[in-house]
Structure 1
């Protein structure tokens, strides 16, 4: 076993002894393999060192000198004709060959390999640990610093465009603690929507907090229901729905702005009265709750589920267009969908028939069905009835 300072720890090292905070909370269990998120968590909790298993080094192979041979004329080597031909092709089109090999790498793989994503992943993990601590403090009746919560969230926005932020959030789905990762995502997406709506900075900050805390009631739901991979029974779903009232109850009396409490209570209400817990209609639902509801649904739809893969942004827009527009406040949902669609204008996409191309024009009357220029050069308008069976399956 070896004890290393946190800055010397590396992913895949195996922890020999439990890592515990000063309050006695176990951060990493013995025998667990370290991940970038775990290392970030240790940094957040100001853990100075951890004991890891020694890495067995392979014994060096003793080099045996080769017998000295008399020099003989080396026969002239002839390469197979097929290899010569391949080399000629590569040399004839070196740029095309490199470009083709790069574009064949999936976008997600390229993104995750980038230093920007790796830094974002580390900052995101620290934010998750901080958010969990905030939840714990609130549940224990202690005060939490909302200024610090906002400061941490803002760090994830630094030097990033909206498309970069959304793409990175879309690739953070394998993290533990789905309640906290979803809450963090909804806080960030709510902040984006607030900026798109040109709200005053004070309201944008308050909206961010409302998104971060909207699901705190889920901490009161039994884990066997919360983490159940299969479809919930009617009784289990009834229990799950209580997280809205439980959330307001947890936040009540802690000094939070009433709009944060309304977001926790009403983020599953719908403007047509089909939501819960009270079946409120449009004028009865708080504006912040309406915005957080949109961010909540968008993050849920772009997340992987046991029964389906995550939907791409154009598929989410299609779902909203098909059955969601009347459920959300018009000015909020249209602003959101238009900005999401325009965010991915000029992006490379794959259609459900496996053809690939680039989005060249967004149809305002049918945001999920833009004009696409295929790699073959053909331009197709997905809004035309001739392409009713064709849709964007993924963003490349």
Structure 2
């Protein structure tokens, strides 16, 4: 129900995503509004919003599950605990798949579905993907967490590209299994706390072919198998294992490639600390000019950048502020509010964002 902002109250729930005049997401649908949220809407000159109607009759709907706002009003903390539990199920699932593939050389599709599907179902309503991934991330079990994250991100990207739920789930499973070939790589190399030698790196690169073989022998659809083989290929031919270029790379592999790069860079690894969120998005944007598919990358960035609105940042001047506006013309130089004043980084080229706090 469209409601004038002057009549909106704290505790009201948004029925749909709310965008500003630049077409950027300000608040996601399902948000239960706080006073800060309402102030943000005023700041962006939004005059009315779509509010979930409130019903006087508690029996207006037959069951809680059928109530259109039942998921929207679930406390964020409870919702996150459910996501976190499903995330752990997915991690435990991929561990079992790695062990099974190492022993038997194959994996069961039912095990993939039972590991990944509960997580996909839990995150369908989540809008702030950037915060969600960072909140779930820990320093433990990088290989397994990375597989789960790439599956989750691939699922989101496919949905953002307008693919059906069935296609998105295939993308998610492809991401979930993209590194399954690492089960055949010695742990001494996988977990080495330092730079790999040339020979060790050559050994690591074999995981792409190993993963393809395991997926094919397990009877998975060819696009999923190709994603395991090609997720390190690059449009300019600089990738591996076959130095494929452009259209020779399967579309699903291109989705998984973007998800793989993003997850790797936001994660702590034995030889590398995670990178700041904005730095990672800048790097992925750079890679869209020749390495990563530009359509997939642009869609990914377009959906991740709005997550930054409302986030706290540290500027190179030492000041702390909040991102209040991101322009389509320059994603990475937003408008920052510090106290009572605004700093436009598009104009203040002497300043940089040093860190984004989720």
Change in CA separation of 1:314 and 1:203 when aligned onto 2, cut-off 3 Å: same
**Matches of 2:312 and 2:244, distance apart in 1:** 40
Change (3 A) 1:138 1:225: closer
Query: What are the Cα deviations for residues 169-210 of structure 1, in whole angstroms up to 9, with x where unaligned?
Result: 213433533221110110001111111111122210110110
Deviation, 1:324, is 4.2
Residue 342 (structure 2) pairs with residue 394 (structure 1): no
The question of 1:132 aligning with 2:95 is answered yes
Alignment of 1:311-390 (within 5 A): 311-375=275-339, 377-384=340-347, 386-390=348-352
- Of 235, 245, 249, the match for 2:199: 235
Query: CA–CA distance in 2 between the matches of 1:233 and 1:121?
Result: 36
* Higher relative contact order (CA closer than 8 Å, sequence separation 6+): 2
Question: What is the CA deviation profile of residues 318-370 of structure 1, one whole-angstrom value per residue up to 9, with x for unaligned ones?
Answer: 21233443211111111111111112223232223332222122122321222
Gaps of 5+ in 2: 1-75
Distance 1:246 1:229 in 2: 23
Between the aligned partners of 1:240 and 1:369, the Cα distance in structure 2 is 37
> Is residue 153 from structure 1 mapped to residue 119 from structure 2 by the alignment?
yes
CA root-mean-square deviation: 2.3
**Does structure 1 retain, via aligned residues, the 8 Å contact 2:151–2:174?**
yes
Deviation at 1:114, TM superposition (A): 4.9
In 2, the alpha carbon distance for the partners of 1:350 and 1:116 equals 29
The structure-2 alpha-carbon separation of the partners of 1:322 and 1:330, relative to structure 1 and needing over 3 Å to count, comes to closer
Change (3 A) 1:114 1:152: closer
- What is the Cα deviation at residue 389 of structure 1? 4.4
Gaps of 5+ in 1: 1-112
Q: Which runs of 4+ in 1 moved over 4 A?
A: 113-119
Contact 2:152–2:172 (Cα < 8 Å) also in 1: yes
Query: What does the per-residue CA deviation read over 1:33-58, in whole Å, with 9 as the maximum and x for residues that have no partner?
Result: xxxxxxxxxxxxxxxxxxxxxxxxxx
Deviation at 1:138, TM superposition (A): 4.2
TM-score (norm 2): 0.72
Q: Deviations over 1:284-304 (max 9, x none)?
A: 111110010000110111112
Distance in 1 separating the partners of 2:346 and 2:269: 29
Would you say the 8 A contact 1:191–1:207 is kept in 2?
yes
Cα deviation digits, residues 364-389 of structure 1 (max 9, x gap): 232122221222x33222233x4244
TM-score (norm 1): 0.65
